[in-house]
Amino acid sequence: MKCSPSEITLDQRSRDLRRLVIRAIAAARRGHVGSSFSLIEMLRVLYDDVLRFDPKNPQWSQRDRCILSKGHGCLALYALLADKGFFPVEELDKFCKPDGILGGHPERHKVPGVEASTGSLGHGLPIGVGMALNARMEKANYRVFVVGSDGESQEGSVWEAAMAAAHHKLGHLTVLLDYNKQQSYGTIAEVLGLEPLSEKWRSFGFAVTEVNGHDVAELRDVVARVPLEPQKPTCIICHTIKGKGVRMCEGNLKWHHKTKISDEEIQALYDGLEAA
Amino acid sequence: MRQTCLKMIYELAKQDPRVVFVGSDLGTGTLEQFKTEMPERYFMEGVSEQSIVGMAAGLALEGKIVYFNTIATFITRRCFDQVAVDLCLHNLPVRLIGSGGGLVYAPLGPTHLATEDIAIMRALPNMTVVAPADANEMRRFMLRSLNHPGPIYIRLGKGGDPIVTPDDQPFAIGRAYRLREGKDVLILTTGICATVALDAVPQATVVHVPTIKPLDTETILTEAAKARVVVTIEEGTLSGGFGSAIAELLLEAGLTPRFRRLGIPDVFPDQYGSQASLMERYGLTPACVAATVQQLQRN
């Protein structure tokens, strides 16, 4: 890492994407704010620079598959999908509403561009392994990206699937891990520590690297180089800050998942973003 | 029944390139011919049922039809969340083939007894639950399984179970079949309990219900309307299982025959022995069924 996640100043695009997240939060007065803000640059780089997709044909067979396994970070995904034209940006104003397609966790059969319904943790990587195996079977050249989280890595199914990915030498499968080091109750370290995390993934057969998850240039550079080793799945551990971009949310677990968000707090989110 | 099921997977795979077989850690040599002839569609994935269900979902999302086989209790309760979210919420064509449904693994104890599989699988939206009576019916069912749109839980018997379904009997998912026409007494069964029913009361009508979900409400209600006594038999828990499904159906249709469910009470079986000895312990024998029918007729 060239610098720490806290040293990154957000550019206009990163702020605009977070503004879309706040727009949805304003509609529902709730959401996983911190968990979404930590993800923005990871998803931004994927959708701006890496993934092949066609928003007018979300099921295009040659598209790269991107699964948001930490489904609670869906506001970040919704912001990107709306920005790319998978659905009208006005859908954000119906977040969690009875007549909306965007819920507190993403659902494939409702939201164009969502590859898998997630929310229960530890599901994305197994599904990604199946998709990657299919690509090999069909000699298709699409790639599979699974965006997971640190807290999610406490689920055993993540490691079952990691074994399978390495066993099958799925070089076209990449895991991006949002390592913001906090979960609902407290820090990862105090709840159920994951360290040494790089060594864990490496010992499970992945090629591993660590990046600043808010440094767009560094993310671009690394993701463009996958697979980092031939015939090995890749794990990119992205060091991030929960709530990145709004000072009052950063590292503040009250914003992990917040409900009954007031007018004043919505304004404070917008103001905080401008000050970032 | 299991051998027939596996043989049919091979046959289906030969004719349809969408068919994929996945096992967890099955006996050595399982489907060797499949593996030799179609290695790219054969997977033995190790003791990792949660991940396998997700992997099967990923394959199915890409257009594959996945047949996944392992021990019934591990393919249902070990990975229940994956079955619910990955398979049922996405409504995908994955077939969960549970070896040793019910009391088959009696000598191995409660960790290996799939007594609540039917109850928990039928609680899941989009899930189809099938328990064939014998190998012949398994073959007919498997032909129908190929193009069924959603997930299916398939309960296997021990193997070598008596053949009780006629060769010329058709099979459609969601249909129940009358194996014998009788009078006043209706016995409804699923899976291998059809044998018990046929041997119990000669004058009883016996309807075999291989598809527990969705139920063939028309056939069941038509037959129940003609009976004064209705008994259900299942090799599984009475809490929410097959008999519960029948009770719900009859009562909500306004039918109130003299009614009794025979199955496993709300306990973990406390003996080893054999499938037959545990079935006897829980009253799943022709003699117990006959006694239950007589008691209901007297009251």
Last residue of a domain, one of B155, B189, B208: B155
Contact A243, A76 (CB under 8 A): no
What is the C-alpha separation between A101 and A92, in angstroms, rounded? 9
In a domain, B253, yes or no: yes
Structural domain boundaries, residue B45 = 2-155
Same domain, B134 and B21: yes
Interchain proximity A131–B58, CB inside 8 Å: yes
Indicate if B150 and B213 belong to the same structural domain. Answer: no
Q: Are residues B214 and B286 in the same domain?
A: yes
Looking at the structure of chain B, the number of domains it has is: 2
The verdict on residue B168 lying in a domain is no
Tokens at A41, concatenated: 């640059």
Average pLDDT on B64-71 reads 98
> Touching check for B82 and chain A: CB below 8 Å?
yes
Statement: residue A30 has pLDDT above 80: yes
Contacts of A160 in chain B (CB under 8 A): 48, 50-51
Instruction: Provide the CATH number for the domain around residue B236.
Output: 3.40.50.920
Question: Which chain A residue lies closest to B48 (C-alpha atoms)?
Answer: A160
CATH code that applies to domain A7-275: 3.40.50.970
Provide the shortest C-alpha distance from residue B40 to chain A (in Å): 6
For B92-132, write each residue's pLDDT tens digit: 999 999 999 999 999 999 999 999 999 999 999 999 999 99
Mean pLDDT of all residues in B174-184: 97
| Chain A neighbors of B85, CB-CB under 8 A | 117-120, 123
pLDDT grade for B171, boundaries at 50, 70 and 90: very high
| Region A176-198 average pLDDT | 97
Quick check: helix, strand or coil at residue B155?
A: strand
Per-residue confidence at B184, pLDDT binned at 50, 70, 90? very high
What is the predicted pLDDT for the residue at A38?
97
Section A74-93 average pLDDT: 98
B40 neighbourhood in chain A, CB within 8 Å: 136-137
Statement: residue B299 has pLDDT above 80 = no
Q: What is the rounded average pLDDT of the residues A121-141?
A: 98
pLDDT, position A275: 86
Provide the H-helix boundaries in chain B.
Answer: 2-15, 32-37, 49-61, 72-76, 80-82, 117-122, 135-145, 193-200, 217-225, 242-252, 275-281, 286-298
Q: Which of the 8 DSSP states describes residue B108?
A: G
Q: How far apart are CA B211 and CA B118, in angstroms?
A: 11
Instruction: Using alpha carbons only, give the angle A269, A270, A274 rounded to the nearest 5 degrees.
Output: 115
User: Within a domain: residue B239?
Assistant: yes
pLDDT of residue B121: 98
B180, B205 Cβ separation under 8 angstroms: yes
Q: Tens digit of pLDDT for each residue in A221-233?
A: 999 999 999 999 9
Fill in the DSSP letter of residue B216.
-
Is there a single domain that holds both residue B14 and residue B146?
Answer: yes
- B86 contacts on A by Cβ (under 8 Å): 116, 123, 126-127
Statement: residue A276 has pLDDT above 80:
no
pLDDT digits (tens, 9 = 90+) for B25-36: 999 999 999 999
Do A117 and B90 lie within an 8 Å CB cutoff? yes
Percent of chain B at pLDDT > 70 equals: 100
Same domain for B30 and B142? yes
Pair B141, B22 in one domain: yes
Size of interface A-B (CB pairs under 8 A): 96
B13 and B151 together in one domain: yes
Mean local confidence (pLDDT), A71-97? 98
pLDDT tens, B206-247? 999 999 999 999 999 999 999 999 999 999 999 999 999 999
For chain B, say whether A62 makes contact (Cβ under 8 Å): no
Q: Is the pLDDT of residue A75 over 80?
A: yes
Among B130, B176, B170, B131, CA closest to B150: B130
Instruction: Indicate if B231 and B148 belong to the same structural domain.
Output: no
Task: For chain B, say whether A138 makes contact (Cβ under 8 Å).
Answer: yes
B87 and B148 inside one domain: yes
pLDDT for residue A2: 83
pTM: 0.97
Question: Stretch A26-48: mean pLDDT, rounded?
Answer: 97
Answer whether residue A274 shows pLDDT above 90: no
Q: With a cut of 90, say whether residue A70 has pLDDT above it.
A: yes
Mean pLDDT, range B20-26, rounded to an integer:
97
Mean pLDDT, chain B, whole residue set: 97
Say yes or no for a CB contact (<8 Å) between B50 and A156.
yes
- What is the pLDDT confidence band of residue B295, given thresholds at 50, 70 and 90? very high
Q: Tell me, what's the pLDDT at A58?
A: 98
- The label of the residue with tokens 């489907």 reads B31
Residue B10 lies in a domain: yes
CATH number, position B111: 3.40.50.970
Rounded to a whole number of angstroms, the distance from the CA of B271 to the nearest CA of chain A is 32
Q: Within this chain, do residues B35 and B145 fall inside the same structural domain, yes or no? A: yes
Mean pLDDT for the stretch of residues A93-107: 97
Residue B280 lies in a domain: yes
The average confidence (pLDDT) of chain A is 97
